[in-house]
Structure 1
Amino acid sequence: MKKLGILKKIDILNNYSIKTKLLIIYAFCVLIPMIVTNSIVYLTIRNNEVKEQKVNMEHAIDRVKYNLGSVLDDCVLVSNHLHSDITLNDFVNERYDNLLSYYDKYNFLLRNNVINYYYNSQHVYQVTIYTDNDTISNSNNFIKLTPEIRKSDWYKQFQCNKDNMTISVYYDKDIKEYSTNNTARTISITRKLDKLGDKHENILKIDVDYNVILKNILNEKMEGNLYVCNKNFILFSNKTPQVGSKEFDTIESIEEKDVKLNGSFKLKVANEEWNIIVTSNEVNPLLKIVEKKEILFGLIIFNLLLPTIIITLVSHSIRHRVTLLGVYLGKVENEEFSIIECSEGKDEIGKLVRSYNLMVLKIKDLIEVVFKRDAEKQRLELAKKQAELKALQSQVNPHFLFNTLESIRMRSLIKEEIETAEIIEKLSILLRKTINWGEDYITIEDEMIFVENYLQIQKYRFGDKLSFNFYIMEECKILKIPKLSILSFVENACVHGIEEVSHNASVGIAVYKDDTDLFIEISDTGNGIPKNELKLIKDRLSNAKIEMLSESKSTGVLNTYMRLQMYCNNNMKFEMDSILKEGTVVTIQINHDELRK
């Protein structure tokens, strides 16, 4: 009795909506446990992660500062040695009487390794001395100061800076155009070469090896991005490895919201400071939760106990009726329609059960009606197809006969020639063939007999104004097509193309095939069709229906097009092209598979 009382109290849940039950589950099984436990875990891990990330960033900035200092100090050391080298200073300040004396002094300089010695430094990319001494010839390390060089970025930066040394950052377009292996991004240390006075303007320029510094930056393995910037540009970054051929990005490309740590690097050689910026996404503590196994297992146990009690009570309200509904839906799949008899309840599942029962009753009432309607629809469709075929066949003969007899009648009335007897004889042959329709499909060879007789009749009418020519591939003669399909387009060419012009015109027919398709081309050099009228014809053909035959006065082309499409199961390709005052070309393309069918 006590057990029954408990079950009755549980059954009260059947009257609550599913939304209310889900809210109960969410509040007691998800919301409260998640807020209490996950907030503690989240905040703890996040704080630890932020601290760890900051320490890693600080270490990375320190390493970058050290590497930058090593590279630049090494290049400055080379610059100091060259600046104090008396031999080198004598060489660039001396005036040479001729090239021979210059090259003697130049070779002496090379033998003593005054410049080449400093290439042993792994951080120096290029040593160049620019001078306005016009007796010195350009070479790998010595270049004359020209107006073009004075307009360059590094020279302008050097002139603007009043310090002893200048750090020039610029993009060398010449390297980009003439070199494929070296970087066009250039960082140079420039200073005056004035140990022996300022008799000439001599500038010592040390190009830092950009790739050495970039390699050190790329070796900083970290989740975020690291940037080394001056006031205007991003000089180095671990974001993209291959950047040497691209121009410097501006510092505006760094989102301020992503910046996590800022550091500065004071250059010893010039009054300039570079910024070291580290950007990173927000810390995601969830990735660290798995590492805290003890906390994770404790949370799992706590979060399972309370949800199990609540879910058990709620699931009892849903499980029985949902299972029963699933069983009866399975019967519906096997075409067995049965009513569910149970305590439905007032919630959404109860409504679903009642809707199912109503659906089963309606299905039983409608099933016979639907089957009968489908059967009747199929019979009507079959009857419609048969009527369409009969209508298409019945309209071919009157259309053709009318135009032919009218042509002969007009010719006879005008000229009163006896030779019309020959034409009437040819016409009688056509009449016997068309009146005795027989099979709707004939060979292309028989069809061309019709076409030739018809054109002979039209030549009688037009005289020398009309000429015609045929090309029929031998393999195509035995292929079958709908009767009068070529003749209809030839007739259309004579009536609407040849008849309306005063000059001599011709009709050409070509039948050929390739490995996959049969091609039939009917062309004339008649009057052609205006663009707007041609568009209307194409639209009518693309939307052709059997009802259009009774609505249109001219049905020859439409009739033939529909018969060909039916013959090819609507897989025929049809093109009609025309140029006004030049003529018309009709192309029919039929796949061999459709011909075999």
Structure 2
Amino acid sequence: MKNFKILNDYSIRSKLLLIYLICVLVPMIVTNSIFYITIRNSEEKEQRINMEHSIDRVKYNLGAVFDDCVLVSDHLYRDLTLNEFITKRYDNLLTYYDRYIYLLQNNVIKYYYRSQHVYQVTIFTDNNTISDSDNFIKLTPQIRNSEWYKQFKDNKEAMIISVFYDKDKKYSINNMARTISIIRKLDNFDKTHENILRIDIDYNIILNDIFNEKMEDNLYICNKDFVLFSNQKSGVGADEFDSINSINEENVKLNDFYKFKALNEKWNIIITEKDVNPFSKITEKKELFIGLVILNLLLPTIIIALISHSIGNRITLLNIYLRKVENEEFSTIDEYGYGKDEIGNLIRSYNLMVLRIKELIEVVFKRDAEKQRLELAKKQAELKALQSQVNPHFMFNTLESIRMRSLIKGEDETAEIIENLSALLRKTINWGEDYITIEDELLFVENYLQIQKYRFGDKLSFDFYVTEKCKSIRIPKLSILSFVENACVHGIEEVSHNASINIAIFKYDNNLIIEISDTGIGMDEGKLNSIREKLNNAEIDTLNNSKSTGVLNTYMRLQMYCNNSMKFEIDSKLREGTEVTMQICLDELKLNG
């Protein structure tokens, strides 16, 4: 049980918070996480099944389209009338047109209209005696150089699927530049001539089938090079095919393929799933979710908050009155409304103790206390009498009279210096609190330097650099002024050339940096080491025994202000000047400011 005694070191509010975290918040997070994960897994499983069904439907539709087109190609491949028409050499155009009309009347080419999936049937032949029409075109060098013809020749198969972009159709009525064709040789009866059948599939038929899936996910049908179809946008027939690289592999959730029955080719069917949104399912079950929140979080939170308020407020109140006892203020607590539990009994015991102490003070120490109050009143009267002997207003009024006479005589410079001196003396005598803002401290410094500039003339110049965020930071009063005064007396006064004093104040990380430098006489290495040693070993006794206390006093005040965490550096070179750098942790200033 000794291990549990450590709980005695924590406040009651901390213990109640621990109970809340372990018994309420953690179980709530666990149960809601399970609820969330269950819904997410169910959603993912459902989406997976829907994607598989979509792919099955896409495969079925692709099979229906291409099987129908292959059936048309088989019919034309075996048609004897068509073969005789493209292999016959015609003496003149009249003979050709007679035969062409006969072919149309027998409905050989128009057979493909029975298929809704065929967009165009074109037969390319090396028979130069025929005339180009919608369905018959002579094999010219330009056609042999086309993309689809090269694909057919390079594949070396009797029948292939060709995917290409036909620029000639980009501005056609149907804007169907994307072309997917079944190409095969017509060599069933004659292998001596080159006759090629190209059946262009209706691109929009397959695209509409994909859009009819109504999928929220991204569905793609691709060959090895291009994205042939997708459900991202409609009306893309005039656009070039997107590259297969446009699909981000990291987003691919399902990858399948469709193998064509009569063709040596397969197409990939890819689905990139959008993020599962479990909150849509949570919304559907909002009654259950709200019930869990009330059961796991809201109700225990209210109960623990009420108990914490009941216990914590009374303990805090008792602690406040006990601190008053430490300061010799013996006040009782009103017992009304503080209950009959252990804390209520403790409050009543405290009141009894305070009353006993008051009785003891009144009986035993009443005479001594009265005597002490009389002596204190006498000392206060003597102190006020001493203070009244020195009236600083007389000095300020005298300086103001001198300044006004200087102004009347036109001695503006003298009046300005007297005004600075009066302001400096007034702020020094009216000490107030020991800590002031850097902005107010720099007003001290500026008044002082204006007076010194009146003394030194153009020999002295000064410059301040302070960031806006540093102006409101509080530091001990006259801490910067002491170093500036030291620079004027021991640095600037000893040189005959022009010299300057520069002050820079800024933040670096979480530290306040104060840099004070002058271009005065400086000091040699021996004197510099002596000052450093005094600062490193600074104590109250050292301050009392030292003749020069300004810098040492300021150093000790700053160290006390920031809990001895200030980093202090002083560097100097003879006839070049002196530089003082102070680095103060802002957390220590906030602790003491």
With the length of structure 2 as denominator, give the TM-score of the two structures: 0.48
TM-score, length-normalised on structure 1?
0.48
Higher relative contact order (CA 8 A, sep 6+): 1
